[in-house]
Amino acid sequence: MSEIWVLVDTTADGKIRNVTFEVLTAAAKLKEKNSATVAAVYLGESAGSIEAELGKYGADKVYKIESPALKDFNPSAYASALSEVIKKYNPDIILGGNTMQNQDFLPRVSAKTSGGLVLDAVDVDISASSTLAIKRYRYSGKSISGMTFHDIKPMMATIRPNAFKAIEKSGAAEVVSESPEVPSQENVKILETKLVPKDRPELTEADKIVSGGRGVASTENFKLIFDIADSIGAGAGASRAAVDSGYVPYEMQVGQTGKVVAPNLYIAVGISGSVQHYAGMGSSKVIVAINKDPDAPIFQKCDYGICGDLFEVLPALTEEFKKLT
């Protein structure tokens, strides 16, 4: 029987990222078409008892690919380990979240296994010829293109976070343990890993995001963004213009060259609404724009707009949000 593999994404403290459950839901959709087995695939030093949680979201099987060499993420080591197990079991389809880690090492896996790879899909299906069919945005979100695989295995794709709503199912997952030989990696070595404490949700995991742009005008003024974000438990982001101006670090950048996000609520503050920024957040369920320029392009793309001075609007809005908590 064919198998659909779903890569397990975890946080620095070992928790399974919500995008994994979303991709399992996408795999369950494909299973309805081809009756394949859905298998979650973990790569790391120690998986622990993750099979119960993964089984709740539709995993029929869990592959635990464990090795001390996989303790820290190393794209070469991860690619070698996963490719070895792929060649052993020959899955038809491999899906994962469109995370920075998967974007980093899956192209290597594609090269090692002669498989096909499409990044940042917003929908997946099984075509009339029983191959993987994918939809993804093109031209900075201006259009959606359809793509299918032909005569190639494995068929691999990453799925944009929040493209699917995670749905719990009932079921238990069988466990298959693998301990592949991971060659010594001379080209990439992890010397040290430092975890930066975060007081707010990660942008790619956040249900709500508040982002500031060039209009925020300074690093000090970004406190207004952090305050309103904290008042509703949101992540804090920024446009490329704000990052390039040195107001906040690159890790906060949302956009075509930053992080692609799709929260239920996205509040854009002092952001003009360039095509590049919209490409990174246009899939948000509700977009709210705050800008003093009535002709700002963001007002043509938002669900709700507030035309006003952000330095007056944000403090008042933050106080109102605090009253609701």
Q: Is there a common fold for 3-178 and 208-324?
A: yes
pLDDT of amino acid 316: 96
CA triple 129-135-140, angle to 5 deg: 155
pTM (2 d.p.): 0.83
**What residues are paired with 160 via a beta bridge?**
none
Whether the upstream peptide bond of residue 315 has omega within 30° of 0, thus cis, is no
Q: Which CATH superfamily is domain 208-324 in?
A: TPP-binding domain (3.40.50.1220)
Q: What is the mean pLDDT of each run of 10 residues along the chain (325 residues)?
A: 91 88 96 93 93 94 94 92 96 94 96 95 92 89 88 94 86 90 77 79 91 97 97 96 96 90 94 92 94 96 97 96 88
Q: Side chain identity at 116, as an amino acid letter?
A: G
Buried b (16+ CB within 10 A) or exposed e, 180-204: bebeebeeeeeeeeeeeeeebbebb
Q: What are the domain boundaries of the chain?
A: 3-178, 208-324
H/E segment holding residue 154: none
> What is 70-135 written as a DSSP string?
GSS--HHHHHHHHHHHHHHH--SEEEEE--HHHHHHHHHHHHHHT-EEEEEEEEEEE-TTSSEEEE
H/E segment holding residue 14: none
Alpha-carbon distances of 155 from 4, 5, 26, 36, 136, rounded to whole Å: 9, 10, 15, 14, 15
Rounded Cα gap, residues 99 and 85, in angstroms: 21
156 by Cβ neighbours in 10 Å (0-12 / 13-18 / 19+) ranks as buried
Rounded Cα gap, residues 40 and 26, in angstroms: 12
pLDDT of amino acid 196: 72
Provide the edge-to-edge strand list for the sheet that holds 155-159: 143-148, 132-138, 116-126, 155-159, 93-97, 3-7, 37-44, 61-66, 174-178
Are the C-beta atoms of residues 105 and 78 closer than 8 Å to each other?
yes
User: What is the three-class DSSP state of 287?
Assistant: strand
Give 68's Cβ-side CA count (13 Å radius): 1
Rounded Cα gap, residues 297 and 7, in angstroms: 38
pLDDT of amino acid 147: 93
Rounded Cα gap, residues 152 and 173, in angstroms: 28
pLDDT of amino acid 186: 63
Rounded Cα gap, residues 15 and 142, in angstroms: 35
User: What is the three-class DSSP state of 289?
Assistant: strand
**Tokens 């693998």 belong to which residue?**
178
CATH number of 3-178: 3.40.50.620
